[in-house]
Chain A
């Protein structure tokens, strides 16, 4: 498995100029970010024609913000990486940008935001990339700040990549402790690569009317999913081509390999790999 960037170095160092440039030039990254943001907005379930004030947590180079602007929402973006924010400023993002470490909490006035989204940022909080960091305390601080700045009943959709069940539990527990209601939606649960998790939470308000639970994760075989399946099939075909263990072909292959290594190998004959006519025949 590929190494996770959280385990390499802190985000403000990882997302340096080089990495920020990737986020403007790589069409693949842009496409994925746009899809994720689109899905986050869908999960927010904002009534049509309503223009909201939205907090974008970990806005990076403003890719997610651009989607929000397209839906005519006002947004405020926060991120810890100065280089990514500079790119966002260059792209003339419509939202306001702030350099904020979400683990330190953010002090927007209480109840000002209608919703919040976050694309691929939350997992950074689970890692102690500095000695002074305590992931549990930072998560708590983050969810408290988020709860405070959302209006009553305001929703937040946070897409993230947890490293295992433990991190997932850490995040959901922290959110629930701070008073949020809601749950996790999993898109494409059967695919290792296309699988995406969304924490959909609501700050107070009327929790009886939780349309969150009613929403299902996507399971349709969309293009991406199909691609992964195709790759898996290819693998199976490749596997099937291998000769059966201890078969004549398998033995010959093995001898060939050992000869290539320069070992002493008995020459092939008509008896090589021939089925034994053992006593089993008579025992039956």
Chain B
């Protein structure tokens, strides 16, 4: 799982409406898989992201306070920042661990890089 799609994902439990995004990530094992850096597709993806959630996640995971809390169009011209963003969104894979909903405490385990989002019958 990459942070790109983590940014799209909410908790799916019935009636879990508040504080269900972003899911907290517990990392047991992560991996960097290099892929080609292309700026334009990345720029196009930015409007789809919830920047606030991404900032929270990055701050939690990396203890990296440098990551800007607010998006600012000037960042698009900063090549160094775009490369960092590429690394964060496209190249960082969470292999083992779990996603935890802070609203309802539902725990979704991640194994082999694939989160298990299947609910129990009573949670649907």
Selected contact of B9 from candidates A92, A101, A107, CB within 8 Å? A107
Q: Is A51 an interface residue (CB 8 A)?
A: yes
B1 touches A100 (CB 8 A): no
B12 and A105 contact, CB distance less than 8 A: yes
Taking the complex as formed, is A45 at the interface, i.e. its CB lies under 8 A from any CB of chain B?
A: no
Say whether A99 contacts B116, CB under 8 Å: yes
Q: In the assembled complex, which residues on chain B have CB atoms less than 8 Å from the CB atom of A82?
A: 114, 116
| A96 x B5 contact (CB < 8 A) | yes
Chain A 85-125, CB-CB to B under 8 Å as 1, else 0, gives 11001001010111111001111110010000000000000
Contacts of A86 in B (CB 8 A): 112, 114
Instruction: Report yes or no: A112 in contact with B12, Cβ–Cβ below 8 A.
Output: no
Asked whether A99 and B117 contact (CB < 8 A) given A76-B5, A109-B9, the answer is yes
> Is residue A158 contacting chain B, with contact meaning CB distance below 8 A?
no
Interface string of B51-91 (1 = CB under 8 A from A): 00000000000000000000000000000000000000000
B100 on interface, CB distance cutoff 8 Å = no
List CB contacts (< 8 Å) of B1-41 with chain A: 1-2, 4-5, 8-12, 20-21, 33, 35, 41
Q: Does A132 contact B (CB under 8 A)?
A: yes
Query: How many Å lie between the Cα of A101 and that of B121 in the bound state?
Result: 11
Interface size class of A (residues with CB under 8 A): 20 to 34
Is chain B's interface secondary structure helix, strand, loop, or mixed overall?
loop
- Please name all residues of chain B whose beta carbon is closer than 8 Å to the beta carbon of A92 when the two chains form the complex: 33
Residues of B within 8 A of A109 (CB): 8-10, 21, 50
Nearest chain A CB to B43's CB is how many angstroms away?
A: 11
Interface size class of B (residues with CB under 8 A): 20 to 34
How far, in Å, is A10 (CB) from chain B's closest CB?
12
Tell me the smallest distance from the CB of B15 to a CB of chain A, in Å: 12
Docked CA distance A105–B21 (Å): 17
Cα–Cα, bound, A101→B116 (Å)? 10
Within A74-90, the residues touching B (CB, 8 Å) are 74, 76, 78, 80, 82, 85-86, 89
A132-B11 in contact (CB<8A): no
Partner of A106, one of B12, B20, B41, B113: B12
A107 touches B10 (CB 8 A): yes
Chain B neighbourhood of A108, CB < 8 A: 8-10
Q: Which residues of B does A touch, CB under 8 Å? A: 1-2, 4-5, 8-12, 20-21, 33, 35, 41, 44-45, 48, 50, 112-119, 121, 124
Starting from the known contacts A109-B9, A109-B21, A112-B8, 12 additional A-B residue pairs (CB-CB under 8 Å) come to A51-B41, A51-B44, A74-B41, A86-B112, A96-B2, A98-B9, A98-B115, A101-B118, A104-B12, A104-B124, A105-B124, A109-B10
